[in-house]
Amino acid sequence: MPALRDLALLGMALSLCACAPSLAAQDAGRSGGAPGEARSKPATPAQDAPAFETITRKLKDGVTLTADLWRASGAEPAGAPHPVLVAFHATRSSRGEYRTIAPEFVRRGFHVLAVDLRYGGPGELGNRKTKERTGTMNETWKSATALLGREPTAIEAYEDFPAILAWTRELFPNSKLGLVGSSYSASLVLVWAAEHPKTVDAVYAFSPGEWIDGWNVALRAKKLATPCFFTCGSGGPDTEQAKKLLAQLDTRPTVYLPADEGQNGLHGVGTLHMKFDADRTELWKRLDAALTWLRPLPSSTPSAPTPSPK
């Protein structure tokens, strides 16, 4: 009998161990925190990931703007140029956020220009204990900080948008253009599209909110009419900020709030490479439908609707 009891206890222990990673994953997926903080270690890029080049452009004030550029390859759909996504990072971060995400867009037929904004810091990866940042240095932030002798602001990063979009149009003059924002830059792209609707064809906002000191984001984005995919993490602060912002927009974007659908989500664009397969797959499914605004997919793929009045 003692032997049988020992075997039973061993079986129970093994069962609990098997469940532990799943419970930990759920807790991690719903974690909150300050906007812009890394929530998980990014996945390692696949060996067959498309190559990119790092390019620079001097701004009028002398700051050097740095970006990573991925070019789509292969036949262009129906003879139209491949569309381009201009991708912006979170607070205390850099273009490195997109090193594992951009290849997925490229495989879908998109050029990607991942830009270092002047509001950021040394690296996209954060250590919550030591507060150290690692990863890809934000070269634009480094240049601006050295030139100005102070930390640039988020509003100053927004003021660089005309130069960034002009640069993009030089690279891809005939492509449809979408803006991708992560955390504070998600707020920036919403405002830009509302204030300059003729300059972009779609926006993709990951965890927007009232993250900009000195701004009322909801008021400035209120008239947003550009097709918009709007999502956030499943943590309480993310969902609360998203709902407050949505309630004040005149039109309803295409919205996916993971917490309201029993799903996990991480803060900002990092949710696209989160480790939880089912949740990541669902998010990409929703996003793929919205990407048809820029590049028509086969007729079997449903198109996402444009924003409609609430």
257 domain-assigned: yes
220 domain-assigned: yes
Number of domains in the chain: 1
Query: How many angstroms from the chain centroid is the CA of residue 42?
Result: 13
Per residue of the chain (310 residues), what is the pLDDT tens digit?
444 444 444 444 444 333 333 323 333 333 334 444 444 444 445 556 789 999 999 999 999 999 999 999 887 767 789 999 999 999 999 999 999 999 999 999 999 999 999 998 888 888 778 888 888 999 999 999 999 999 999 999 999 999 999 999 999 999 999 999 999 999 999 999 999 999 999 999 999 999 999 999 999 999 999 999 999 999 999 999 999 999 999 999 999 999 999 999 999 999 998 888 889 999 999 999 999 999 754 433 333 333 434 4
13 domain-assigned: no
Question: What residue has token string 């080049």?
Answer: 53
Residue 83 belongs to domain spanning: 47-309
Dist CA 222 CA 155 (whole Å) = 18
- What pTM value is reported for the model? 0.82
290 and 227 in contact (C-beta within 8 Å)?
yes
264 domain-assigned: yes
4 domain-assigned: no
CATH of the domain at 70: 3.40.50.1820
198 domain-assigned: yes
